[in-house]
Structure 1
Amino acid sequence: MSCTIPLLHFARRPAVLCRWPLVQLSSCQPCRPCTLSPKDGHQDSGRKELGSENQNRSLLESLVMLGVDVKMVQRRQPGVLKRSFTNEQGLASFLQCKGASREVVASIISRFPRAISRSEEHLQERWQLWRQIFLSDGEIVNILARSPESFFRSSDNSNLERNIIFLGSLGLSSKDLCRLLTTAPRTFSNSLELNRQMVELLKDVCLSLGGNDPEHFVKAVLSRNLYILIRSTKRIKANIEFLQNTLALSNGKLLELLQGQGAVILSLSNGYLMKNFKGIQQKLLSHGCGKDDVKKLVTKYPPVLYISQENLKDKINCLQKGGVSMTQIIKKPKVLEFSIKNLTKRLQILKDIGYDFQKNGIGILDSSQRRFDAKLQRLSVE
């Protein structure tokens, strides 16, 4: 029996290969029951539990033979073990046919036990849908190895297909869809109507701020923030209103912010956003800065609102202790993106060579490790 699966054909953009280091795949042989050797300890631990009340004994024995960690199954989704009808052997055979190793099959079932309730027909159909986004079976196997929930969480294939078509119609590339499916899979479990409501909200925001290309605005926001569609419209509206009222930006500037770096903070809880803004304001004002400086910092680098009050305080203190002024931080706030450990290490290295931030600026701190090392090498030659 061939393992080749015909692709579904519906309108979509050309697929873009998403690149991850793939798990080691076995060659695709004709589908057959998977005869897996249980991992050390799994067989014994499984057998100890075979007598548990109301559990399907034959299912437990089958899982043990597949090398599944039965104790993990009991912790994660114990109800699965009480089912009379399951498809663990069919699932193992299906995944092995697609290139999954024996260990990967066992790991998938251990971490998301409900996977064994999916029928052969369901698995085939869902795999075909995923192949509308991914170019190879290997990519899908790799994703399942990392996050089986993304594939097995929802059982509604029709809803998945409708969402793929809808999101593709927004101009999102296959690369964007790939990132959505792997990072925020609940987007595809949402009802189509729920996703449409968020898209309509974003279009309305664009038009209300004087934008003339709402489709581009939606695409820009979704591409920058993969979690928007799994948040409530109430949260997004509240965050936009908060930014509008607090930063007092013109419509044009706010529109530019929202479809740029500001998109990444829209999915934060409103309380967390307000709390962190207050923390930034208090810290800057305590150093003699004005409200305009707060506005400048946030608009230049909106992701600063992700940083907790305590962490922000520690980072600023670390920079100042290393000779960086508050004015320089406001001018180049992206430096706050780096961890305290990274900043401390760089500051010490620069201190050792007598680097003067007031004379040379802090651009060297706000750079990739490769550029930082290259700059150090040039400085050592000078």
Structure 2
Amino acid sequence: MLRLAATSLCLRCQRSPSLRLRVRPCATLNQSENQETVDALYDLSVDIQKVRKLKGWVLHRSPAYAKEVAGLLKDMGASGAVVARILAVHPEAVLHTPEQVRSQKELWMSVCPSQRDLVGIIEKFPASFFTSASHRDNQRSNIAFFLGLSLNKRVVTKLMAGAPQSFSRPVQQNQEVVCTLQQTYLELGGEEANMKVWLQKLLSQNPFVLLKPPEVLRQNLMFLRGRGFSTAELLRLLSKLRGFVIELNPDSMRRSLTFAQDAIGCTEAELRDLVLKCPALLYYPESTLAERFGGLLGAGISMSQITETPTILELTPQIVSCRIRQLEARGYDVKSGGLDALNGTKKDFERSFGKLQLRGERPLFNPVAPLRGDD
């Protein structure tokens, strides 16, 4: 009897349409999109499909202020195309109230030279500008702190754009990091009169220095001191590494130095000289160093040439090969002529390359020089 009842119940369940489970994709289980937001973004020529693909959740939020935020950006001088790009990359900007955007604009303009500059920053770093209103007090305190160090306003703006997390956290954390940097600079023999310029350059080249624990810097310097670097050499390294010294750790540096020394076959003193010329030997991992050494040697460059110009290791094998081909086309032999023409940044190379002439090549026609008549 019990089995029959159970069977009857099962049959009724199977026949009942109200009990059928209909599995749908998770996206369709969410509430419908905010049509007002979608329409506003469409009118602003924002790539809606890109927004749906990357940050579709924004389109489901309400309230949203797409028109208002776009209007404020245009008031700052942003073109329609720029506004569209900003909102496509960072659509959560439309969730900020007009009051919040005005407040953020006022904050940034306390260090930004002009509204035009601010628009350029927002286009490149929208997430740095459209931060939570809950961080506003910390941002103000941090701006006041860095300006109190007599840092250039442009540097402070660059810090805010490149490492916004450092301005969203309590000012005490940044004070601790900066204090450690200043003390280290002085302990290594740096002059107090030059400390502001040194600190400004360090922070502008690598804003993420502020996000690292101060102890890391001391540990790394202790390791390098243990490898025989003098106080003056450590100060040079600290400046040359552009803050990277605080992103390293003793284990990774030890492995990189060991690999480089084995590959070159040099003494500890010679290795220190090479590191001072090319700090990349400290922070490139073994795999990168192996690739760089292999690429150079494979291109016919000798180890003695590499040690004479160690900064050549900063170039990828692809760049080295491309430059060698260009130089050979001009009749320049890298093996006998040295690596100076091959080395350096793109601008350095173009400058050196432009001075070279093909063997037997006649000077290029100078349109300014007077023409000589026929004899």
Specify the TM-score bucket, using the shorter chain as the normaliser.
0.7 to 0.9
Instruction: Please give the alpha-carbon distance, in whole angstroms, between the structure 1 residues aligned to 2:191 and 2:327.
Output: 48
- 1:317 equivalent in alignment to 2:298: no
1:158 maps to a residue whose letter is: D
**Which residue of 216, 219, 223 corresponds with 1:238?**
219
- 1:377 equivalent in alignment to 2:354: no
Alignment match, 1:253: 233
**What SS does the aligned partner of 1:187 have?**
helix
- Map 1:1-382 to 2 at 5 A: 52-53=30-31, 55-155=33-133, 156-213=135-192, 215=196, 217-246=198-227, 248-258=228-238, 260-270=239-249, 274-275=251-252, 278-351=255-328, 355=332, 360-367=337-344, 368-377=348-357
Q: Matched residue pairs, number?
A: 330
Instruction: Please give the alpha-carbon distance, in whole angstroms, between the structure 1 residues aligned to 2:261 and 2:184.
Output: 31
Q: What TM-score, normalized by structure 1, do the two folds share?
A: 0.74
> Does the aligned pair in 2 maintain the 1:159–1:189 contact within 8 Å?
yes
**What SS does the aligned partner of 2:241 have?**
helix
> Does the aligned pair in 2 maintain the 1:80–1:113 contact within 8 Å?
yes
> Does the aligned pair in 1 maintain the 2:113–2:154 contact within 8 Å?
no
Instruction: Please give the alpha-carbon distance, in whole angstroms, between the structure 2 residues aligned to 1:294 and 1:66.
Output: 58
> Does the aligned pair in 1 maintain the 2:203–2:209 contact within 8 Å?
yes
Instruction: Please give the alpha-carbon distance, in whole angstroms, between the structure 2 residues aligned to 1:224 and 1:147.
Output: 17
Higher relative contact order (CA 8 A, sep 6+): 1
Structure 1 residue 379: deviation in Å?
A: 6.5
Q: CA 1:73 to 1:322, structure 2 compared with 1: closer, same or farther past 3 Å?
A: closer
Structure 1 residue 198: deviation in Å?
A: 0.5
Listed one character per residue, the Cα deviations across residues 219-249 of structure 1 (whole Å, up to 9, x for unaligned) are 3432432221122324333333333333x21
Q: CA 1:341 to 1:199, structure 2 compared with 1: closer, same or farther past 3 Å?
A: same
2:87 maps to a residue whose letter is: I
Deviating more after overlay: 70-79 vs 125-134: 70-79
> Does the aligned pair in 2 maintain the 1:364–1:375 contact within 8 Å?
no
**What SS does the aligned partner of 2:200 have?**
helix
> Does the aligned pair in 1 maintain the 2:342–2:349 contact within 8 Å?
no
Alignment match, 2:20: none
Q: CA 1:67 to 1:358, structure 2 compared with 1: closer, same or farther past 3 Å?
A: closer
Alignment match, 1:27: none
> Does the aligned pair in 2 maintain the 1:285–1:291 contact within 8 Å?
no
> Does the aligned pair in 1 maintain the 2:31–2:60 contact within 8 Å?
no
Instruction: Please give the alpha-carbon distance, in whole angstroms, between the structure 2 residues aligned to 1:277 and 1:378.
Output: 45
Instruction: Please give the alpha-carbon distance, in whole angstroms, between the structure 1 residues aligned to 2:36 and 2:355.
Output: 65
Q: CA 1:103 to 1:135, structure 2 compared with 1: closer, same or farther past 3 Å?
A: same
> Does the aligned pair in 1 maintain the 2:236–2:276 contact within 8 Å?
no
Instruction: Please give the alpha-carbon distance, in whole angstroms, between the structure 1 residues aligned to 2:360 and 2:316.
Output: 25
Gaps of 5+ in 1: 1-48
Gaps of 5+ in 2: 1-26, 363-375
**What SS does the aligned partner of 1:266 have?**
helix
Instruction: Please give the alpha-carbon distance, in whole angstroms, between the structure 2 residues aligned to 1:74 and 1:276.
Output: 44
> Does the aligned pair in 1 maintain the 2:176–2:214 contact within 8 Å?
yes
Instruction: Please give the alpha-carbon distance, in whole angstroms, between the structure 2 residues aligned to 1:265 and 1:318.
Output: 25
Identity %: 28
Going by fraction, where is helix more abundant, 1 or 2? Answer: 2
Alignment match, 1:37: none
Listed one character per residue, the Cα deviations across residues 9-42 of structure 1 (whole Å, up to 9, x for unaligned) are xxxxxxxxxxxxxxxxxxxxxxxxxxxxxxxxxx
Instruction: Please give the alpha-carbon distance, in whole angstroms, between the structure 1 residues aligned to 2:286 and 2:52.
Output: 39
Q: CA 1:133 to 1:380, structure 2 compared with 1: closer, same or farther past 3 Å?
A: farther
> Does the aligned pair in 2 maintain the 1:297–1:333 contact within 8 Å?
yes
1:111 maps to a residue whose letter is: V
Structure 1 residue 91: deviation in Å?
A: 0.6
2:235 maps to a residue whose letter is: L
Instruction: Please give the alpha-carbon distance, in whole angstroms, between the structure 1 residues aligned to 2:87 and 2:31.
Output: 21
Q: CA 1:77 to 1:267, structure 2 compared with 1: closer, same or farther past 3 Å?
A: farther
> Does the aligned pair in 2 maintain the 1:209–1:252 contact within 8 Å?
yes
